[in-house]
Amino acid sequence: MTDVRMTALDILLQYDGSKMFLSDLVRASLDKYSYLEERDRAYIKSVVTGCVEKRIALDYIIDRVSKVRTAKMKKVVKLIIRMASYEIFFMDHIPARASVNEAVRLVKKKHISQLSGFVNAVTRQVSALFEEGGDIWPDTKTRYSCPDIIYSLLTDTYGTETADSIIKASDEVGPGYIRINTLKTNTDSLMKKLKAEGVEAEKTPLSENALKVSGLIPGQSRAFKDGLFTVQDLSGIASLDAAGIKEGMTVIDLCAAPGGKACTAAEYMHQTGRVLAFDISEAKTEKINENIARLGLENIETKVKDALLFDETLKETADLVIADLPCTGLGVMGRKVDIKYRIQKEDIENLAMLQRQILDNAVRYVKPGGKLLFSTCTITKEETVSQRDYIRNKPGFNLVSERQFLQGIDPCDGFYYAVFM
């Protein structure tokens, strides 16, 4: 029988201090333990993800009651206590007594029984702190585990009130959205099919091509497999709506994987025109091809191409260039929980420079009278409005429309787009 707590601990030990992305590690681990009951798989994912996402809050709790601070603890002991603390403070269905006992058991199974008394004492005090109730948090950034560098960036850009709203919203996964494939279905028909699958869906005023959904598991949805919709955030859908895509256009998507925006353009053109979807590796273009096949699209061509290398044959050929560029991803912190711990100030600067190098090529692909759609799933000014100003200084490029979406303020992920003509 698989020890699910030990499995969760081993994943955390493998992740801690590594350069792996948590989502990839959790996915691979759950694939390995596919035979487990759904309840056990859900526990593993919840505890591992929670201990990473709420690291700052958990260490604050532990440091309040422990004579030895988390920074000085052995890694395995620290992770065991974090797991118990996460269960006690954030998992209502697990009795605190069980969390304490299981923490002690894990210490013994890791052959460090000499520390079982310490772990028992600390986890019991964590439980007592929880039982006291009340607001124990000194500030918003601790309660919602926001690193200082991210909090300073957000407050400097948006002010404390908005920054706090962003942080709170990023503590959980936001609403789910899908884009209707109007080549195969319509809104009312898709909503009926989804309802039959147990998925709740409702229209959204921000786009007639989008639905807000809950209870959707794409891999288990017949409608998804039949290509009736694509999972895509409302902000991304809104950016394509703003681009004014028309039949017969030539569209170039420079960083297209997994293909959401390229496929949107193809659908909006009703299988006319031509969409060129590029990305840097075969693995990425294969993701695009999978979506093309599922959605039944015939006017998209994919090719492995580095957006940093200018292709002279495509100069001034596009009616629309889509430049959805690499970024820090701070708009999707709620979906990718380890992003906030990876970002340093130099990363923002380096990514902004990378974006400008790609944009220098992107503007050269736009034909006279054509459009450029620049977008990123982040909320830093260096990767959004600063790039808007950079493009606006290019000869012949005027800003047509733009929007900054902020999680906690808008009903979707953080995202920025600007359309130029």
Per-residue pLDDT of the chain (421 residues; tens, 9 = 90+): 679 999 999 999 999 988 888 988 999 988 888 898 989 999 999 999 999 999 999 999 999 999 999 999 999 999 999 999 999 999 998 999 999 999 999 999 999 999 999 999 999 999 999 999 889 999 999 999 999 999 999 999 999 999 999 999 998 888 999 999 999 999 999 999 999 999 999 999 999 999 999 999 998 999 999 999 999 999 999 999 999 999 999 999 999 999 999 999 999 999 999 999 999 999 999 999 999 999 999 999 999 999 999 999 999 999 999 999 999 999 999 999 899 999 999 999 999 999 999 999 999 999 999 999 999 999 999 999 999 999 999 999 999 999 999 999 999 999 999 999 9
Residue with tokens 């698989």: 2
DSSP string across 346-406:
HHHHHHHHHHHHHHHHHHHHEEEEEEEEEEES---STTTHHHHHHHHTSTT--EEEEEEE-
Query: Among 167, 267, 251, which Cα is nearest to 209's?
Result: 267
Q: Tokens at residue 89, please?
A: 């403070």
Rg (CA), the chain: 24
Three-state DSSP class for residue 265: helix
- For 215, phi then psi, to 5°, come to 85, 15
Residues 355, 206: Cα–Cα separation, whole Å: 28
Label residue 34 exposed, middle or buried (CB < 10 Å: 0-12, 13-18, 19+). Answer: exposed
| Sign of the torsion angle spanned by Cα atoms 91, 93, 94, 95 | positive
Q: Whole-model pTM? A: 0.93
